[in-house]
A and B are shown apart, each in its own frame.
Chain A
């Protein structure tokens, strides 16, 4: 059993556990699964009631849970890497541990933050939570996540990677 846990988990175990996060959050805390709101939450806490409406009007107390949630994700990442992995598999390839890699991460990160907030959600809020609640705009969002990702990988891949 311990050996199985230390190996990478099969897709069906991972899929089931990720799927169960949606009802768990709803039953335990009455919240819908979503992660990119945490970016807006941090931004609104930084500007502290000033700045553009998007941050000024953000309900900082009502969304505080997103910050607690992502802190948990980071600690879960620590636990899994330190205590539950036999051979630590790399998160990023070596080529990203360079100046060029940093540029790619910052630019790519910018697109993630901008795109997720413009679309109104990311893989968790739209793809997992939205589609599972039969919210059709979330299916549209998910299709265009893949349009963007496939285009970059296949058309611009030779320039970027």
Chain B
């Protein structure tokens, strides 16, 4: 009896709980196609355009605010419906949102991020769409973002003591 119940708990199972593994080929393919669709929308909505972002921060036009607002609204309705009807992911697992915690980085990091967004006219998604669209100067934005990420990686122990993940 004991031997059987021991066999039912292989160590690999514990590992998959703490370290979620990769995806199926179909999963990666659908992520890829979703990314392509998003890249097209980024460019066609012109949120990849520096001028649009600048005009947003100058409060000169509502274009960006409306896109973000409608985006949040549609996503919120969809997620509420998903939770209400307990829709499952195609991989069979229930759909769950992993909350992002509050800590001082949300405030200070948020402000720093906003400053970078205003200067470069791009947030991370549009950087990739700009590069793909042939705006090779956006590679400098991306390189800067990598440097910033590395700087945070080294400074994280000093900036955030322990509490937060992500």
Asked if B36 contacts A75 (CB within 8 A), the reply is yes
Q: How far is the CB of A72 from chain B (nearest CB, A)?
A: 2
A8-42: CB near B (< 8 Å → 1, else 0) gives 11011111111111111111111111011111101
A interface, CB within 8 angstroms of B: 5, 8-9, 11-33, 35-40, 42-43, 51-55, 59, 61-62, 64-65, 68-81, 84-85, 89-93, 96-97, 101-102, 104-138, 140-154, 160-161
Task: Please provide the 5 A-B residue pairs with the shortest distance between their CB atoms, ordered closest to farther.
Answer: A76-B39, A72-B35, A109-B144, A15-B70, A19-B74
Choice from A20, A32, A132, A160 contacting B72 with Cβ under 8 Å: A132
14 A-B residue pairs with Cβ-Cβ distance under 8 Å, sorted by A, are A8-B45, A14-B45, A18-B38, A29-B90, A72-B32, A73-B132, A92-B137, A112-B141, A116-B109, A126-B100, A129-B75, A136-B102, A144-B111, A147-B114
Asked if A121 contacts B79 (CB within 8 A), the reply is no
Q: How far is the CB of B17 from chain A (nearest CB, A)?
A: 12
**Interface residues in B, total, Cβ within 8 A:** 115
Asked if B120 contacts A76 (CB within 8 A), the reply is no
Cα A160 to Cα B50 with chains together (Å): 14
Asked if B149 contacts A39 (CB within 8 A), the reply is yes
Instruction: Say yes or no: A74-B116 contact (C-beta < 8 A), given A30-B91, A31-B31.
Output: no
